[in-house]
Structure formats: C-alpha cells, structure tokens
Amino acid sequence: MIATSAAPVRGPTRPSPLWTRAFHGFNLLLLLLMASSGLEIYNANPVFGGREGATVPELFTLGGWLAGGRDWHFGVMGLYAANLGVWIGLLIRQRHQRLAAMGDLGTLRVSSSTPKRRLAAHRVVYTLMLIVLGFSLITGMAMYKPAQLWWLVGLFSFAEAAGHDSWQVLRVCHLATIPLIALLLGAHVVLSWRVGGLRLWRSMFV
Amino acid sequence: MATPADPLSRRRSLGLLLGGAPSLLLGGCALNAHSEAVGAATQPLNERIEALLQGKGKLPEFRPRQVDPAALLINSFNGIPEISPGSYRLAVTGLVSRPLNLDLAALAALPQHQCVIRHVCVEGWSAIVAWSGPRLADVVALAGFSPLAGYVFIESADQYYESWDLASALHPQTLLATHMNGAPLPAANGAPVRLATPIKLGYKLSKWVTGLKLMASLGDRRGYWEDQGYEWFAGL
C-alpha cells in the first residue's frame, strides 16, 4: 500500500481504503474549524496575559466574535469527537498495519536503511498526532463542563502546589495542542512526501 | 519520493498549496456570516445533553483557602447601579400563589448557605469564590410557585435580564448571594443581591437582582447576551 522504497513506483495509483480517506479528510476539515474557532475564543481572554495579553490575528480566527467562535467550536465538536473516536477505534483494531508500535521505535534506533527509518518516523508522527488530538478532546471536555466533570478537571490539579490553578493548567494544555499539531503536521507533510511522494498524497485525497 | 519522470507533479502540488491557502482564508471570512446558523442548528441538541448531564444533587466544592479574590474580574454591560440597602426590594411574581416583595431582612431570615465554587466566565477566565446567602429555591418556595412554572425570568437594577430553566434555579447550590468571601457583597459584584451557582456560566449570574418572575414558557427576551447570540442554557 505505502511505497517503502525510494524508487518511484509505476502504474496506476491505488487509493487508500475509502474509510481511511473519509476519516482523514473529514478530520482535516473539522480540525481547521475547531482550531480557528478556538483561537477566536482565545482572543476573548488570552491564556497568556489575560485582558492585556496579545491576541491572535483575525486572519486565523473563525466566528467574527466570541459568540460566533463558540457557535462553531461547540457546533462542530460533536462531529469532531465522533469522527476522531471512531477512526482511532478502527485504527486500533488494525494496529499491526497502521499505527506506530514499539517496532517503529526499534527501527528508528537501529536501522541503517533510510527508507525504513523514514517510514517508521512517519508512522510515529501520525500516531502522535492522533494522541494529541485525543488530548485536545479530553482537555476541551474538562473546560466545557468543569462542574459536572469535576473529576476530569481534578486530573489537572497537579501544579496547584506550585500556585497554578487547575483551570489555568487546562487552558494551557488545551491551547498547546494547536502548536503541537502544527509542528507534527509539518513533519507529517514532509515525511509523507518523502515516503510516498505525490502518489501517496493522491491515494489519501483523491 | 517525487517522481522525476513527472515534472508537473511538484509544480502542480506547489500550485495547489499556493492556491489553496488564500481560498481557505477567504472561506474563513465568508464562514463568519454562518456562525449563527451553525449555533442555531447545534445548540438545541447540546442544550439537551447539558440538561441531562446536570444532576439535581450538590457538586463538590473547593476549600476556602483556594479562594482567589484577585482572579475575579468585573464585567458589567451598563455600569454599576447604586442601590440603598434600606429601599431595596426583591419582587417575586408570575406563576406564584403569593407574590412577594422581600427586603434584605426577609432574605437574611431565610436559611443561609455558603458555596465555595468556581465562577467561570464565557471569556475563558475563572475564579474560585465563596458566595453566601439564601437558596433561590427557598425564596421561590416562599412564594408558592405553580407546577406550570418552567422558567424563571430575572430582572436587575441595571436593566440586565436573564432567564433560567427551573431545575437549574432550584439547584441546592444556586444562591441569591448577599455575601462574597465572608464579607458583604461589594457594589461592583452585584450588591445587595446577585445570583451565584457552580452550574452556569458567569453571564447567567445576574448582579443587582430586583425581580424573579416564574413563567410557563420562555419569552422573546431570553437574556441580554443570549439575545445577541450567546447560548441560553450555558451549563457547566
């Protein structure tokens, strides 16, 4: 399915399974909506600096104002969670083929074959992306319903001894998923290009 | 790897990237106009789930030493009204058998409760506050509300208005707070009487409350911010 050698592979493109392409494309679209509306919400009271803090340029935000940003963020969250949850569930069932495992870390440590190392690195990167997205769901849930899900908020009270309220820890953790995903996305794009080139991209999007 | 035999591939993909970015941005601006439609389509379901998630029992509270007075910011849409404690009255009207006009002594005569809870603002900040005063449930019970009542409309001295579902209003931690952090409520925080609860966002927690009206259904005026696009249930 994925070209593991650096040599170009001839012949017609074999598309990835429909469910992979659907979950992947839908996740990308929903993630853009969630991130941009989330930054709109951020601007109402920046996590760093509060009311005097620096805001995100309007170019990267969605909603126009706080209520509009919340309309999108909480309007899309259900679809985003369902898409991500079902996708991760399906991937775990097929872990031996798709998600990174200990073997990939071993390959990265000992293999001298560049294509093999690239493939392993790519599997590690996209698996990390799914973990970060799952983390964005957990931190988001805790901030959406902090009173009802008080036990979930409690998991983030580890820095209270150092004077950091669990709410601020949650806000930082939830926001941190955006730069983390942006970094991993960069690595994902570069590595998928190196691993499978345009053929791989077409197999995911066409 | 790029296929060297296909020189268009790299150029084409570059073109795709360059062409795609501005259209995303343009799309983002156009999407702003649809925010309300997205909210209107999804809020009814979200609000149903929020109401289901919300229990009738007490939620865990914070320890008094976790109170952080500096974290509580002041929000007001229309300044700070000055209310003299002597002339203050709380009107309880609508679907009640005994319409009431309570002064502060009558509120102080009701059982007093304290809640140390997290006050969460829609803007994103929060503060742990100790509120005390009578339960909203005790005040409306005093007026004897009709079984037809499903909502409470809350009027404030600064013309702010809100409406709540009755279940949230009757929650044991929903207070008509007259004290904050052990001292009488400051004017900027809603003196002499304001709403306090752990189960609603800050914009539901009216300050300078002067009227409670029990209603069978929601009217056109659902809340100052709700009427401009904020979610009505706003549960936490």
DSSP helix/strand/coil, B78 = coil
How many whole angstroms separate alpha carbon A40 and alpha carbon A183? 20
Q: Does A13 touch chain B (CB under 8 A)?
A: no
The type of residue at B38 is V
**Is A146 in CB contact (< 8 Å) with chain B?**
yes
CB A147 within 8 A of CB B202: no
Q: How far is A109 from chain B (nearest CA, A)?
A: 23
Does position A42 have pLDDT exceeding 70, yes or no?
Answer: yes
- Which tops the pLDDT comparison, A19 or B96? B96
- Asked if pLDDT for residue A6 goes beyond 50, the answer is no
Q: Please state, in angstroms and rounded to a whole number, the distance separating the CA atoms of residues B193 and B179.
A: 8
Q: Calculate how close chain A gets to B232, using CA atoms only, in Å.
A: 11
The three-point CA angle B130-B135-B137 to 5° equals: 150
In angstroms, what separates the C-alpha of B97 from chain A's closest C-alpha? 34
The answer to ipTM > 0.90 is no
The residue of chain B nearest to residue A150, with distances taken between CA atoms, is B60
A146: nearest CA partner in chain B: B236
Residue ranges of alpha helices (H) inside A8-65 are 18-44
pLDDT of residue A170 exceeding 80: yes
Res B1: pLDDT: 40
pLDDT band at A179 (very low <50, low <70, confident <90, very high): very high
Q: Give B-chain residues touching A50 at CB under 8 angstroms.
A: 125
- Per DSSP, helices labelled H in chain A are 18-44, 66-93, 102-110, 114-144, 150-154, 166-205
Chain A residues touching B229 at Cβ < 8 A: 65, 67-68, 71
Residue with tokens 């509580």: B72
Between A205 and B205, residue with greater pLDDT: B205
3-state secondary structure of A92: helix
Distance CA B56, CA A30 (A): 34
Work out whether the CA dihedral B180, B186, B188, B194 comes out positive or negative: positive
A13 has pLDDT over 70:
no
